[in-house]
Amino acid sequence: MQRVSEARVSVSGAVLGEIGPGLLILVCAMQGDSEETADRLAAKIVKLRIFKDDDAKMNRSLLDVGGAALIVSQFTLAADVSRGNRPGFSAAAPPGAGEALYHRFAAAIQGHGVALATGRFGADMQVALVNDGPVTIWLES
């Protein structure tokens, strides 16, 4: 995930979702992930204190600042490049399960009261963002 001042996702030139200040969250469901995994990560993300307070310290959460979330599926996060020069993606969840978990995760984020925008699962998307900080954090299940 990346803390952003703005972000948007497009498919074939049409904007599907865009946000102002908040988080761009790139999501990859992995083999073995579950609905509980999605719910747990969503709860963690909305409470992470990674936004600046009045003293410029990272001490406020997405919920505290009233930020939005742009959630984009990205199976390439599962890339295994340990052998050869072509990435393997066998650790990613199968497409049906991955899509279900992507939607579950987005619903869980929204369920915490966060304004939400999404991309389109499985689409060839273009993502534009202004990384604020920059702050980029990797979370694994």
| pLDDT tens readout for residues 6-48 | 999 999 999 999 999 999 999 999 999 999 999 999 999 999 9
Q: Which of these is catalytic: 2, 31, 37, 74? A: 74
| Counts for the chain of helices (H) and strands (E), in that order | 3, 8
pLDDT of residue 141: 80
Alpha helices in 28-81 (DSSP H): 35-47, 62-65
Give the pLDDT score at 75: 93
Q: Please say whether the dihedral angle defined by the alpha carbons of residues 104, 106, 107 and 112, taken in this order, is positive or negative.
A: positive
Residue 110 bears catalytic tag? no
Domains belonging to the chain, first-starting first, are: 2-133 (3.50.80.10)
Alpha carbon distances (Å) from 19 to 23, 48, 118: 9, 19, 10
Residue from 75, 105, 118, 121 carrying the catalytic annotation: 75
Integer CA distances (angstroms), 74 to 29, 47, 51, 66, in order: 9, 23, 24, 25
Q: What is the pLDDT of residues 58-102, one digit of tens each?
A: 999 999 999 999 999 999 999 999 999 999 999 999 999 999 999
Which of the following is catalytic: 2, 31, 37, 76? 76
The pTM assigned to this predicted structure is 0.95
